[in-house]
Structures are given as structure tokens and as C-alpha cells.
Structure 1
Amino acid sequence: MKHLKFTLLICLFAAQTGFAQKKIELNEIWDGTFKTQVMQSANAMPKSNQFSRIEQLPSGAQVINIYDFKSLEKTKTAFDNSLFKDIESIDDYSFDKKEEQLLIGTNSRPIYRRSFSADYYIYNIKTGKLTPVANHSVMAPSFSNDGTKVAYAYKNNLFIYDITNQKTTQITQDGNKNQIVNGISDWVYEEEFGIVRMFEWSKNGDKIAYIKFDESQVPEYSMDVYGTDLYPSQNKFKYPKAGEKNAEVSLYIYDIQNSSSHQVDLSEFNDFYIPRIKWTNDNQYLSAQVINRHQNDIKLYFIDGNTQAKTLILNETDQAYVDIHDVNFFDDNQFIWTSERDGYNHLYHYDKNGKLINQVTNGSWEVTNYYGIDSKTKTLFYQSVERGSIYRDIYAINLNGKNKKQLSSALGTNNAVFSPDFDLYINTYSSVKTAPVYTLNKAQSGKIVKEVLNNKKLENTLKEYQLPEKEFIEIPAADGTLLNAWILKPSDFDTNKEYPVFMYQYSGPGSQQVADKWLDSNDYWHAMLTQKGYIIVTVDGRGTGFKGADFKKITQYELGKYEVEDQIEAAKYLGKMPYVNADRIGIWGWSYGGFMSTNCILKGNDVFKAAIAVAPVINWRYYDSIYTERYMKTPQENPTGYDSNSPFFFADQLKGRFLLIHGTADDNVHVQNSMAMIEALVQNNKNFDWLIYPDKNHGIYGGNTRLQLYTKMTDFILNNL
């Protein structure tokens, strides 16, 4: 009997000590403690059916290694920066079509979200010779298809460097900062159409098509740069806000042999965008997508490179808006077009004259990625949400829409990188339970050939923290629509207790926060808050993505109406749960999510006790033309839609605790938004907190910035919710 008591005592002691939950510290979120091991980006090499990637050696040197897709074994090192004193780091690289030369960028200097300039060199893999493209930094260099020339942008003009004779030809002459931009997108195209290079080589390399932006009439935005000098400086750039003048765009084709540019006649259009240009696989024809300012009428043209005559190939309209997608051409110029015309995002097959052959995918679900076609078997590969909008799977289907096959099996998020010959693919799988796992799979069956990389070590580390697992639930909106949500409860959750709830969301059109995938930094922060006794909930309201066009486009003309209603209704729903303290519900978000959380603390002032808004839009009149008008039209056309849901106009309704955060160098959502909100709150004599980060952009990071930011937000929550 004494022995039994002693054994029980040991077990109780072990339960209280050895198996106690380890607490997450904020610094661990940012110091790499929870970092996942990743397979560095694989860049396909079509000619050799291999892939390349940048890797860092223990010595600190960076190399570009080439791997065989079938064995995943390294075949050779294409470049080693330790052999060249001018290449301190490999910031960017690309192969020519023959895979005999490399363009290597170093000393890169960021410009906006995607754009940068760098010092570029041409490296001949056979000879080992390294040659500078220019004696200054350049933007977006690109090999001609025959590998004899490189085109690039510099100071808003386009240039061609001839590798053979080492001579440079200037294509355009009129480039000038904040006036004329040749071949590179302006700020708003880069941000909203997701593109930087706006010039393209023809297949034979005898022509270059490019877009010219005349932004001389676009209003200018200025940002003070405080830096460390005695006096601050100013950064001025053209930023077209909603309803304001856009850059005037024009399309040109430059003939290498004649050294002359010819403009394509688009005079029938007024106030329009050219979001994509791409040469077809017929060297004679360039494709160009032209869309109206309202972005609900898009036309695809084929343009004769010799005569500049254009032929309308496809025209698509929508009552709300048409999303921009790349056109994917086959060898004979048939192509795949992506469209929501039947209410869901699907793939359509057209012939080279624009005649619809068939709808390849079909169903009340969305295609989320198109990987390409195996020309041997006429099999298309794509990613979709066929097993539910929070999941992602890989599928194969015949070009005629038959013989669909699900290649991935594990429920969660699957993504693929296919070999150029489409015989194999590298699958990345994760879920809320499984950290990323990389496997090599057969493309025709999905069968795993071998495991490449896993994160078991991280999963074992996390066992010490006993992190709560996301529970996926559905919460009804006011109209009965079921909304995807996840909930995180403390690991020692007790149904007999009442807990405060802290909600996180983004809510922007077509976005998604509720997905079955592995954790990000916010997830670890949220898990840390559960360890302090909070329940965390995220709800994807109406207007978010992957549940069909009607669900996504319900917010048209009224951004912030239905999304805010849904967050308020969700908070009320949660407040009725027996284990939720309805008097202690808060909400936070970043960017569009900050717009949302600000609206919620104002319009839902009887529901939310506290809110945090990071880099929020406060008034849609302050945001850019392409994004805002896509959903709202212009302020001149839709003033009520702009004003009735902009928190700037409801500052007098603040009751709860509010923390407003912004960076002064935010070129995307300008700090002007927060300054306007601060002034409105001050004039309404409201008590609130605010935090400004000097010279930090929309991401608010660098050094200890993120750690300090999340420390501030944590303290705010602990003290006010």
C-alpha cells in the first residue's frame, strides 16, 4: 500500500512539472524558434527538364545548384558567388532559353512592394566569364530568346545590351521621373495588377513590345523620410487615388532591325488599362489585354507585330468586375482562359481565333491555380477547392474536360511544382496539424516517389508548448449565410469558465484567412494569447474568396457594409456561447483588416470592447484608383458608398478602447489615413491610443520593430480586454 501511494505521488508530480505547458515568449516568434524548414524555390529549366535554386553553403557563400527532377539529386553547381568579388550576394537570377547563361542580380535596392533595381551581370556557364550588363543598377533585365541580347530599364527608359559586341542601344528617349515611364509599371499597376516588367521579347527576338506610362497629369504624393540626417528629405511619387487622373498608357512595338518603335492604335478606348501583354507562340502576334476603368469589360487582342493591326479574340464582361489572369498559350496558339462567368472560377479552352472549344473544369467550386498542360497526353493540371473552400488539392483532367483525377490525398493544403515534361511534381502539403512536408510525386497518379523534406523536428518542439489546435466551425450571418471560421481555445479550456474573445480578420474582396494550412507568425501570437486566457476567433465574412462569385461580389459598391455586419453578427453569436464573456470581445486587423476593426469598434460599439487597427484605410477616397474603383466605381459616381462605410465619418461613435498604428513611409495605405482618423477622434474628444513608426512601410518591420509592435499590442490587449 505504501508503494502504491509513492507511485501515485510521482505521477502527480510529473503531471504538474514535466508535462506543464511551456509558455510562448514574444521574442521566440521572431527569433526563428518556430521557423519551418522549407525547400527553396525550385525554378524549372524546360530545356533540360531540371530545376535550379539558390543555396547557402556553411562558408556563407551562395551557389546556384541544378537538380534532376527524377532523382532530386544535384547535377552541378551553375554559379558560386565566392569566386567573384563583385557578387556579394545573389539577389536575383534567371537562365537564358538555352540554359547556357545566367543573369545575376546583386546589391539590390527595393523600390516598392515588388520592384527593385540591382547590379546585373551576365555569366557564361561554359566559359566562366562574368560581364556587367551596365555600369549602373538596372531594372527587370530579360534575355532575348536566342540569348544574344538583354533588354532592361534604366531611369524610365528601355535599353538593349548586345552580348556579342558589348554595345548598348537606347530604345526610348523620353523617360523622366514622375512624368514618363517606359517598360516598367507605375506604382498602381505594380501594386494592383501584380506586375513590374511591362516589356516583352518576341519569340524570335526581333521585336520588343512595351507599355509607356504618361503620368505627368497624375497627382503626386509626398512622404517625409526622417532618416538620421539633420533635416528630413521627401519622397515624391505619382499615386492616382480613387476618382483622380490615371497615367495615360500606350502600347508600342520596337523593331530591332529597323531600330524604330510603332504605336498600336487604341484610340477607340478612353481611360483604360493594359494589365497584360504577352507574345504568342506565333512570332508574328502579340497578345494584349485591355480593360476599361471600371474593370468590368476586358478585351483580348492579337496584334500583328509588323503592321500593328489588332484582332479582337475574346471579350468578357461582368456586372461587377473581371479579375486579371495570365493567358496560357499552347504551341499552336490555342489557349486557356480563366473566368468566373458561370459563377465560379474555371478554366476554358479556346482556339487561336478566339472560338470557345469547351469549358474544361466545371462545378460549384473554384480553380485556385493552373499549373499547365502535358502536351503529350493533353492533360491539364490545376489546384482547386473541390473538397471545401478551406482546402487545396491537386487535380489532373483531360483537355476535353473528361477523366478528372485527384492527385493529392491528404486533407489540408496541397501545392505543386511540376517538372517541365509534366511527368513528376514536388508537392508541398500542410494543415493545422502537420507542418510542411515536401514529396516527389508521379504526375499521372499522384503516387509519392519519395519524401524530400519534413518538419517533424519543429512538430516535436511544439509539443512542449501544447499549442491549441484550430477548430473549424461555421457561423451564420444575419441572412443565414454560413461563414467559415476557426476558433482557438486555451489548452486548459474549461466549459464552466467565461473567457474573453479576441477576433482577427482581413475581410478584403476575394481574400481568405480561414484555411487548413500550417501556422504563420500571427498564429503563434494568437496561441500565446490563448496561454494568457483568451479565445481567438477568425471569421471570413461575405466578400471573401473561394465560395463563388456571388459570395465574393456581394460587397460591390459598398466595401465595409456586409463585411462589418458579419463581424458584428459573429461577435454576437460568440457572445451567446456559455463559455464566452460577451462584455470582453475585441477585434484586430492589418490594412483592410485595420479598416474593418476600426469600423467594428465604431459601428459595433455595443459589442466590441477593444480594437487594434494596423495601417488601416480610413477613407476609401484616400486609396488608389485601380483597387478602389474595381469594387466601388469612382467617388464621383458612388459618393454614398464611399462615405457610409468609411470609419473617418463615424469617429463620434467610439466607446471602447482603440489602438491605431501606422508607418510614416507606407507608400500603399498612406499614413494620411491615420492622421485624418486621429484628427477626427481628437475633435470628437475621444480617448484612444496611437503609435507611429518613422520610415516604416506597410509591413512595419526591420530590426526589433515587429517585436516592439507585438509587445505593444499584447500589453494593450492585456490591459484593455
Structure 2
Amino acid sequence: MKKICFLVILVTFFSAKSQSTTNNLKEITLEEIWNGSFSADRMNALRSMNGDFYTVLGFNRETRTATVDKYSYETQQKVETIVDGRNLPNLDYFSSYSFNDNETKLLLGTNFKQVYRHSYKGTYFIYDIATKDLISLGEDIQEPTFSPDSKKVAYAKDNNLYVRDLEGNREIRVTNDGKINAIINGTTDWVYEEEFAFVKAFEWSKDSKFLAFLRFDEKEVAQFTMNVTGNELYPSTHTFKYPKAGEKNAVVTLELFNVPQRTVSRVDLGSYEYIPRMQWTNKPEILSITTLNRNQNDLKLFFFNANTGNLKVVLNEKDEAYVDVQDNLTFLEDNSFIWTSERDGYNHIYHYNEDGTLKNQITKGDWDVTNYYGLSKTNNKIYYQSVENGSINRGVYAIGLDGSDKKLLTDKSGQSSASFSKNMKYFINTHSSATQVPTYTLYNGDGKKIKTLKDNIDLYVKMKGYKMSKKEFFTYNINGNDLNMWMIKPADFDPTKKYPLLLFQYSGPGSQQVSNRWNSSNDYWHQMLAQKGIIVACVDGRGTGYKGRDFKKVTQKELGKYEVEDQIAVAKFFANENYIDAENIGIWGWSYGGFMSTNCLLKGNDVFSMAIAVAPVTSWRFYDTVYTERYMTTPQENASGYDENSPISHADKLKGDYLLVHGSGDDNVHVQNTMRMVNALVEANKQFDLFIYPDRTHGIYRGKNTRLNLYTKMTNFVLKSLKN
């Protein structure tokens, strides 16, 4: 603790020396933050092709038509325009595209309509690159996908699954029982999409003979209804299936469509609750399936032989808390496979034989692998991202399949992430730090820098003209754990004065807010508050990520207990610092962070004087099964964990200023959470501030000036409550 105080004083001294340089600098405004004045120039999303090429979706501003342009990785020059909307009949504009395996055809999508947060349905066309023929696939289609032999396209529509035979231009209806809010075939329900992070629930076998898909029977799942204010004379309602903690999930089954025989059969996987992943192996008849029990602490990886019907468990992972679902399963030519796991206490890469026996652990150490990029067949190197140089940094590495010859390919500090070519020969590295704007650089697979693609030097120069404070990083011990922290002081900081303090956090399981990266919109807002005389700090407490399994999973069955204890302890630590006004300490957060800020204000009412909660969970009983039960089990099993850590149970403890904000159209964290919190506060006769954004979803974005209005409201509340 003494060491930390010394570091703070040391940085303070240097900050004081630089006061004279800030007098002529501009101050950040909310209008600039939300009109994009500080946005970094990003690279267009690219799609890697076969060989040393990639494509980019372009837009011709003069003709207002879309293009698909092909570029060389090596030269970064455009090679050709594969599709030009000016030459397409009835389709001059499209906003999505995908190739078949041999890159002779394209699926072009337009007229998209949102279903849930990550799912859309649209109008699709099939474009033949050689003949330039354009064929309509249809409207209101979801997730169209070419078969590996390019002779068919599978897609979902109206909760049913279809296959279009391209040779005869015939539509084959795979299922017939699809019905809204009852049966879904080939795409996921709300909770799978949100928590297992996928929408397309069907996969082609490598030989195009089988189509495996998931069927969701959600008839017994309770419906949730939201009022929609809209622009009409009478409001309407939006009703969808939403399984809340402890309630019934959809019954999910694995189905197999035999394409030549046009028959559907069900695969019996035994006892399970969830099927979060499926993937065909390099043997065309072998399908891999991942299942989880309801508490998500028993994961099984199955291999199913579509020809014989043989099913076997090749891997079984268990954990006292939960097992994370991952997307890193990679099959090698001999059908051995790459897998990532926390089995040794940290997330690492493993190589398994086809029968599920361990071949070797590829990465080792007291640090987490944070991303697995793939295996290069040419040099047998695995590429990955990790926190080996400190949990607030990310580096891109190469390592041999046998665990030898590990090499750091990117900068040691800051955040580096890679987008690899399909053949793993090149990657585009995105790098930033708290002091370095985002840069995009082309590397080869050996880590040799080839070319800087974007450097954002204009943004770097621009920010030199603003009164920006240094983001100071610390690690210090609270409640027996070394916690990561950053702090922003006013640029003209005077160590003899006392300043209000505002803590920012999210705190959810496996999350991270203290990272060495360039500014987000919230960072610019925090800088603006610092300009107005407020110190802003952020601490990642117990339960957050990238510090190993035990640190992350300590909050199991007690969400909102240890994380709250850490934030309260941090506030008390700062309250003892000479430059902090102990009577004016606030905290804010969004979603899980709003749950936390509310709990901190209530349970820590002796140290926190204000809080802002945006779209908060106020009881985990109101949130979905998959996320909540992963960390809390069910309310029936863990009633005290749910209720003792719910802000609703502590409403009578409110003493400080409290601003509660929610979007009425939030289909993720329902406004019910806020309304139940309001009722509890009213019953306790507590005064507070409430603002509801009509029809806005969880991000409270949609509509003119919505974010500007929200952050203006929050700014005024902070300045009023944290009296400086």
C-alpha cells in the first residue's frame, strides 16, 4: 500500500510541472465526442481469399453503387473489381457478400431487417463471376451458405430450413414445422444468439452429402412482451421468447438432413441442456458436437459418424464453476485437433489425438491465451494472442505445434490483434496503446513488417491540441489481490487541492476495462470530466478476466458480492489520499456496471455519495438462463446468492444521489429491472432521478442526438452531485 502512494505522488509531481503547457489547449466537448470528431480512421473489413489476396466491400459515391474489390496482400494494390453494382440488373447496391469455396460464385445481400441484436434477414442473389449471371435466391432469408461442392445453397426462412439446388434451380424444403415463437429450424433462439454468440445453426459436411442443423422447440418458453411507443397513434407490443433464470429453456435437438435421400433424422446425444457448438471434421462423415449440462460445468465433445450412426465422447471437461465455450476447435489433416482450455488454471492451447487423448500442451505459463488465430500448414506454426507481457497488454505470437520456437511478432506493450490471410502467410496487425493511436500494419507470418497501412497521424496531431490528461496505470493490492487500475487527473492537477472522484467499472465475469489501448468514447468523456476538475479512475476487481481461472471464477454463485467489496475498498483507499475529497466520491457503469454502481452506492453508502446506473440488472432473477445460471446456478438452487446481492434488497440503504437510466425497448436487460428498482425505492421512501429512453435498446443509440442527450444528462448529474 505504501508503494502505491509513493507512485501516485511521483506522477503527481511530474503532472504539476506540466501545468503551464495546458493553458492554451482546447477542451473536449460532448458534441465533438458524439459527432465523431475523435474517431480513428479504421480499415474496411476485409475477407481473405484463397492464395495471397483479399477482398473489400467498396462503395462508389458518384454512382452510389457497391463493388467487391480484390487486393494483393503483398503489394496492397487493387488487382481487379470482381463485382460492380453498376453492371447488375436490379441490384446496384448490396451490403454483404460471401464466396463459395472455389471463389467462382458470390452470395450478395441487401434490404436487411433486424431480427434480434445480431441477426438479420435480407434479400439475396447468387452471382456467377465467370458468366456474370445474377439469380434471385429470395426475400427474408437468413444465413445463406454455399455447399462445399458449390452446387447448393442452404438457408433459413420463416423458421424453416431450405436447400436451393443450383443446377436445377429447385428449392428443397428441409423442414415444415417452423413457426414464430414455437419452432425454429436452422437458426438460433434469442438466448443462444445473445449468450452462445451464433445465429447460423446449420453446417454442411465437407462432401456436401449431409446438412446438420439445430431445431429449437420453444413452445414451453415463457414469452416476454415489450411496449413499443413508435410513431403511430396507438403503441404496439413486441413479444418474443425469453427464458429467465430458473425457467424453461427451448428443447434443442440435433437433426441430420441426408441430401441425396432427402430425409431428416434426429441424433440422440443423451442427457444435456445446451448444444452450443457443432462442426464437421476433416473426415467428411464425422461431425463434432459440443454439449453442456444446465449448470454449464460439464462439457462433452462428441464425434458422430453420419454414415454409421456411431456416437462417442472424445473429450469431457468439468469445472466446479463453469466451462467456457470456445471457438478454437481446429482439425488437422489426420483429424487430430487443437483445443483451448483452462485445465491447468490458465487458458492455453492443447493438441489432442483423434481419439481424444492428449498429445501435448502447446502453450504454458501463468498467463492466458486470449485469441487463437489458426495453424499454418506450410510451417506448422500456431498463431495466437496472449497477455504474456502483462494482463493489460496483448501480443501476437507464433509457436510450433510441438510447443517450441515461440516468437513475439508484434509490439510488447499496448494492444495488438491480428487478421490473418486464409493461408496464414500474412496478417494485418491492429495496434494501439493509451498513448498511441490505432495503427494498421501488414506483416508476414514470420513477423516481418511489410507496410504501414493506416497510421492515424492526423488524429494524433489533432489530440495534441486538446487538454488531455495522462492515463496512469497501477497495480495494487486490495482484499488480498493485486488489481489493475487506471486513473486520469485534471491536466492542471495541484496536489495541494482536493478533487472529487468518479469510479468507472463494468466488473462482469471475464471482462476487462483496465487495458493499455487507445481511447474509446467513454475515455474522451472521462477526459472531459477531468477538464472540469474531477479525477476519474477504474479498477478491475475480482471476477474480471485475463488473470487466470481462479481470479475470474471466485465470484461463482455470488455475483455482486466480491466485486462490490473491491470497489468499496478502492473508494476507501482513495478517500484516504490527501488529494481526494472523501465527501464526493461517485461511481458509474452500464449493464453489469449499472448493477455494480447501484450496489456500491447502497452497500457502500458510507463512502459513495453518488451513482449512475445505465440499463442495470437489478436482480439476476430477471436475466436469461444461459448467462445467469453459468455464474449463479438456478434461483431454485441458490436463492440467497440471487437475493442478498440484488440492489432491490438494499433499496432502504440509499443515501446519496442516484440516477437511473434505461431504454424501454431493451430486449437484453429488460426495463423491468429498473421498474422493480423504482418500486423498491418508492417503498423505502427514497428520492432518486429516473430517465427512460422510449424504444431504445440496450445500447441507447438509436435516434437523433440520443447519445449526446444521454451523456449531457450524465455530465450535468456528475457536476451537480460531485460538488467541486
Q: Confirm or deny a common fold (TM above 0.5).
A: yes
Q: CA deviation at 1:92?
A: 2.0
Q: Secondary structure at the match of 1:415?
A: strand
Q: CA deviation at 1:407?
A: 1.0
Aligned to 2:292: 291
Q: CA deviation at 1:421?
A: 2.3
Judged with a 3 Å threshold, the aligned counterparts in structure 2 of structure 1 residues 709 and 18 are, in CA distance, closer, same or farther, namely closer
Instruction: Say if 2:22 and 2:492, in contact at 8 Å, map to a contact too.
Output: no
CA distance in 2, matches of 1:16, 1:301: 66
Judged with a 3 Å threshold, the aligned counterparts in structure 2 of structure 1 residues 602 and 168 are, in CA distance, closer, same or farther, namely same
Deviates most, 297-306 or 404-413? 404-413
**1:532-571 maps to which residues of 2 (within 5 A)?**
532-571=532-571
Paired residue type of 2:541? G
Instruction: Say if 1:198 and 1:211, in contact at 8 Å, map to a contact too.
Output: yes
CA distance in 1, matches of 2:333, 2:107: 26
Aligned to 1:331: 333
Match of 2:355 among 340, 353, 371: 353
Q: CA deviation at 1:329?
A: 1.2
Judged with a 3 Å threshold, the aligned counterparts in structure 2 of structure 1 residues 627 and 17 are, in CA distance, closer, same or farther, namely closer
Judged with a 3 Å threshold, the aligned counterparts in structure 2 of structure 1 residues 87 and 505 are, in CA distance, closer, same or farther, namely farther
Q: CA deviation at 1:75?
A: 1.0
Matched, 1:465 2:466: yes
CA distance in 1, matches of 2:520, 2:88: 37
Aligned to 1:251: 254
Aligned to 1:125: 129
Instruction: Say if 1:476 and 1:570, in contact at 8 Å, map to a contact too.
Output: no
Matched, 1:222 2:222: no
CA distance in 1, matches of 2:518, 2:106: 35
Report the count of equivalent residues.
Answer: 701
Paired residue type of 1:218? V
**1:192-203 maps to which residues of 2 (within 5 A)?**
192-203=195-206
Q: Secondary structure at the match of 1:662?
A: strand
Aligned to 2:713: 712
CA distance in 1, matches of 2:89, 2:470: 49
Aligned to 1:169: 172
CA distance in 1, matches of 2:178, 2:653: 49
> C-alpha offsets along residues 581-619 of structure 1, whole Å, 9 cap, x if unaligned?
111110000000000000011001111111000000000
CA distance in 2, matches of 1:175, 1:555: 40
Aligned to 1:98: 102
Aligned to 1:515: 515
Instruction: Say if 1:475 and 1:570, in contact at 8 Å, map to a contact too.
Output: no
Matched, 1:417 2:419: yes
> C-alpha offsets along residues 89-132 of structure 1, whole Å, 9 cap, x if unaligned?
43322111011111111111111121111111111122222211
Matched, 1:269 2:271: yes
> C-alpha offsets along residues 157-208 of structure 1, whole Å, 9 cap, x if unaligned?
0001122221111100111111111111111000000010010011111110
CA distance in 1, matches of 2:255, 2:424: 35
Judged with a 3 Å threshold, the aligned counterparts in structure 2 of structure 1 residues 83 and 705 are, in CA distance, closer, same or farther, namely farther
Instruction: Say if 2:417 and 2:429, in contact at 8 Å, map to a contact too.
Output: yes
Instruction: Say if 1:242 and 1:635, in contact at 8 Å, map to a contact too.
Output: yes
Task: List structure 1 runs of 4+ shifted beyond 4 angstroms.
Answer: 15-19
Match of 1:57 among 57, 60, 85: 60
CA distance in 2, matches of 1:19, 1:693: 38
Instruction: Say if 2:542 and 2:566, in contact at 8 Å, map to a contact too.
Output: yes
Match of 1:408 among 407, 410, 418: 410
CA distance in 2, matches of 1:195, 1:395: 27
Instruction: Say if 2:85 and 2:93, in contact at 8 Å, map to a contact too.
Output: yes
CA distance in 2, matches of 1:330, 1:68: 27
Aligned to 2:190: 187
Q: CA deviation at 1:466?
A: 2.8
> C-alpha offsets along residues 50-71 of structure 1, whole Å, 9 cap, x if unaligned?
1112123342433221111122
Instruction: Say if 1:412 and 1:516, in contact at 8 Å, map to a contact too.
Output: yes
Q: CA deviation at 1:72?
A: 1.6
Matched, 1:239 2:280: no
CA distance in 1, matches of 2:355, 2:149: 28
Paired residue type of 1:302? F
Paired residue type of 2:192? Y
Aligned to 1:626: 626
**Runs of 5+ unmatched residues, structure 1:** 1-14
Deviates most, 49-58 or 279-288? 49-58
Instruction: Say if 1:52 and 1:67, in contact at 8 Å, map to a contact too.
Output: yes
Aligned to 1:3: none
CA distance in 2, matches of 1:17, 1:247: 61
Quick one: percent identity of the two aligned structures?
Answer: 51
TM-score (norm: length of structure 2)? 0.95
Aligned to 2:158: 155
Deviates most, 106-115 or 383-392? 106-115
TM-score (norm: length of structure 1)? 0.96
Match of 1:382 among 374, 384, 393: 384
CA distance in 2, matches of 1:18, 1:381: 44
Aligned to 2:73: 69
**1:468-479 maps to which residues of 2 (within 5 A)?**
468-478=469-479
Q: CA deviation at 1:81?
A: 2.6
Instruction: Say if 1:144 and 1:205, in contact at 8 Å, map to a contact too.
Output: yes
Paired residue type of 1:352? E
Aligned to 2:322: 321
Matched, 1:362 2:364: yes
Q: Secondary structure at the match of 2:140?
A: coil
**1:434-449 maps to which residues of 2 (within 5 A)?**
434-444=436-446, 446-449=447-450
CA distance in 2, matches of 1:441, 1:405: 14
Paired residue type of 1:515? S
Aligned to 2:5: none
Judged with a 3 Å threshold, the aligned counterparts in structure 2 of structure 1 residues 676 and 88 are, in CA distance, closer, same or farther, namely farther
Instruction: Say if 1:593 and 1:613, in contact at 8 Å, map to a contact too.
Output: yes
Match of 2:48 among 44, 51, 56: 44
Q: CA deviation at 1:144?
A: 0.5
Aligned to 1:604: 604
Matched, 1:32 2:36: yes
Q: Secondary structure at the match of 1:29?
A: helix
Q: Secondary structure at the match of 1:138?
A: strand
Aligned to 1:304: 305
CA distance in 2, matches of 1:527, 1:89: 40
Q: CA deviation at 1:39?
A: 1.2
Aligned to 1:341: 343
Q: CA deviation at 1:665?
A: 0.9
Paired residue type of 1:139? Q
Q: CA deviation at 1:19?
A: 5.7
Q: Secondary structure at the match of 2:717?
A: helix
Instruction: Say if 2:97 and 2:109, in contact at 8 Å, map to a contact too.
Output: yes
Aligned alpha-carbon RMSD (Å): 1.4
CA distance in 1, matches of 2:442, 2:157: 41
Instruction: Say if 1:472 and 1:485, in contact at 8 Å, map to a contact too.
Output: yes
Paired residue type of 1:100? T
CA distance in 2, matches of 1:85, 1:539: 56
Aligned to 2:6: none
Q: CA deviation at 1:17?
A: 11
Q: Secondary structure at the match of 2:611?
A: strand
Aligned to 1:10: none
**Runs of 5+ unmatched residues, structure 2:** 1-18
Instruction: Say if 1:88 and 1:106, in contact at 8 Å, map to a contact too.
Output: no
Instruction: Say if 1:81 and 1:88, in contact at 8 Å, map to a contact too.
Output: yes
